[in-house]
Structure 1
Amino acid sequence: MNLTTAIIDDEPLARECIANYVNDVDFLSLTGVGSNPVELLQLLDSTPVDLVFLDIQMPLINGIDFLKTTRDLPMVIITTAYPSYALEGFQLDVMDYLVKPITFDRFFKAVNKAKDYHQLQARASASDEGHASTEYFFVKCGFRFEKIFTDDILYVEALQNYVTIFTTKGKFMTLLTLKQVEQNLDDRQFIRVHKSYVVSMPRIAAIENNEIFIEGSRIPISRQYRDNVMERVVNSRLWKK
């Protein structure tokens, strides 16, 4: 399975270096190059792209701002001379972060990670064909991409730059914000109960004072969210006799 790639960088030598690396990897094919993110959008309108090599410091708009404001992008590997953006880049769910000058060994490790993720998505799509109502998303946990079914989620806890997703199958820690996880959840099923917690309404076993009980865990309800939580509880058909 080949990955179609695009290179977006305002430095001609940097584009040439990455293009040479792409040509040396048998599962990569180069479909386009550009000097700024606007050219990438034009390319995506006309050409299928699986993987983008994206610089940060570019004219018109830098790579980080572009990732923040653009949705439905292919997989992205950042290529930059600035290591200080690494944490922010990973929070935007990039596949990898390569600091220039980029060695081929480091490049090859990054594109193999992208290939593995692409194959994982393809297998998941094939196995779930005919089950469109099954909702799930992938999260990156270390070097693995874990498939999370939303019906399996008990609750989600935020801690600094990470979240832990507690499910019936186990718990999964990933470098995301709670807000990013919420975007993958149906707000008819999930509810924010605290600045650090989102819970599954059907999984709530009991509520006592300012605590929610879910399979042996106690989740706090903050004053800010309590009224909304109790209104949802009272109006939920799950709580009516």
Structure 2
Amino acid sequence: MNLKVLIVDDEPQAIEVIKNYLENFQNIEIVSSCTTAIEAYQVLRQKQIDLMFLDIQMPALKGTDFLRSLNRPPHVIFTTAYPEYALEGFDLAAVDYLVKPVSFDRFLRAIDKVLKLYEMKSGLSFTAEPSVDKEIFMYLKVDRKTIKINVGDILWIESLKDYVKVVLEDKSYITKQKISVLEELLPPQFVRIHRSFIVSVPKVTSYYSYAVEIGGKELPVGRNYKNEVQRRLRVNF
């Protein structure tokens, strides 16, 4: 039996991020996605929903007000760019409160909370372990377009002041973003090796105490990152 999910967010890109995160899990079914609370209300009337990802700042009706209006709401995880609403969210008995941009690791912890609650309620057993054969995607804004990138294709990410360069095997993209934000979004296969570089550990072909080689290029290892880089690479070599 699948856990049935509804996603409610007025930003289509935010919906796509959640969808792609959820595709990494077994026993979770995305029933529908909506951009307004009114649309979500119709879905809840017509279909069984076990978990709702709910944005707070939406047109016409805020997510918190929408949740208050429901007599028997499903489990709710708030997703918002505004951390100041966290207390209000938990007062409404939300399972969790995710502040955008949401890292996959943080998302996994929220899903684990829901599955444990659902197990207690239904007597069924679920797991929050992601399926190994599923792909994870990242969305970047590049030249007024939104580009979908398979995270498994990334070699490294380089900081360029207020921008970052995301390097793949056959191309690269530059987007306005801080490297620290992307670091939070990336899965555990990536490691920060320098204040200006994050690399995909499985893509590293050789390494020294002061540098790693990846994609035919040598990237420096910062002094403050050396111990963690050495530990991660020893495990994978």
Q: Could you state the TM-score of these two structures normalised by the residue count of structure 2?
A: 0.51
Q: Which residue of 2 is the match for residue 104 of structure 1?
A: 104
Query: Does structure 1 residue 14 correspond to structure 2 residue 7?
Result: no
Q: Which residue of 1 is the match for residue 32 of structure 2?
A: 32
Q: Which residue of 2 is the match for residue 117 of structure 1?
A: 117
Q: Which residue of 1 is the match for residue 162 of structure 2?
A: none
* Distance in 2 (alpha carbons) for counterparts of 1:106 and 1:2: 22
Residues 149-201 of structure 1, C-alpha deviations (whole Å, 9 max, x = no match): xxxxxxxxxxxxxxxxxxxxxxxxxxxxxxxxxxxxxxxxxxxxxxxxxxxxx
Q: Which residue of 2 is the match for residue 79 of structure 1?
A: 79
Query: Does structure 1 residue 93 correspond to structure 2 residue 93?
Result: yes
* Distance in 2 (alpha carbons) for counterparts of 1:113 and 1:33: 21
State the percentage of identical aligned residues.
45
What residue identity is the alignment partner of 1:74? P
Alignment of 1:33-52 (within 5 A): 33-52=33-52
Task: Give the superposition deviation at 1:118.
Answer: 0.5
What secondary structure, in the 3-state scheme, does the structure 2 residue paired with 1:6 have? Answer: strand
Alignment of 1:207-226 (within 5 A): none
Query: Does structure 1 residue 57 correspond to structure 2 residue 57?
Result: yes
What residue identity is the alignment partner of 1:22? L
What residue identity is the alignment partner of 2:111? V
What secondary structure, in the 3-state scheme, does the structure 1 residue paired with 2:123 have? Answer: helix
Larger Rg: 1
Unaligned stretches of 5+ in structure 2?
A: 125-237
What secondary structure, in the 3-state scheme, does the structure 2 residue paired with 1:59 have? Answer: coil
What secondary structure, in the 3-state scheme, does the structure 2 residue paired with 1:39 have? Answer: helix
Residues 69-106 of structure 1, C-alpha deviations (whole Å, 9 max, x = no match): 22201000000000000011001000100000001111
Unaligned stretches of 5+ in structure 1?
A: 125-241
The structure 1 segments of at least 4 consecutive aligned residues displaced by more than 6 Å after TM superposition are: none
* Distance in 1 (alpha carbons) for counterparts of 2:120 and 2:5: 18
Q: 1:44 to 1:2 in 2, by over 3 A?
A: same
What secondary structure, in the 3-state scheme, does the structure 2 residue paired with 1:57 have? Answer: coil
What residue identity is the alignment partner of 1:11? E
* Distance in 2 (alpha carbons) for counterparts of 1:40 and 1:111: 20
Q: Which residue of 2 is the match for residue 224 of structure 1?
A: none
What residue identity is the alignment partner of 1:100? K
How many residues matched?
124
Query: Does structure 1 residue 5 correspond to structure 2 residue 5?
Result: yes
Alignment of 1:196-235 (within 5 A): none
Task: Give the superposition deviation at 1:123.
Answer: 3.0
Superposed CA RMSD: 1.3
Alignment of 1:142-153 (within 5 A): none
Q: Which residue of 1 is the match for residue 189 of structure 2?
A: none
Q: Could you state the TM-score of these two structures normalised by the residue count of structure 1?
A: 0.50
* Distance in 2 (alpha carbons) for counterparts of 1:105 and 1:116: 17
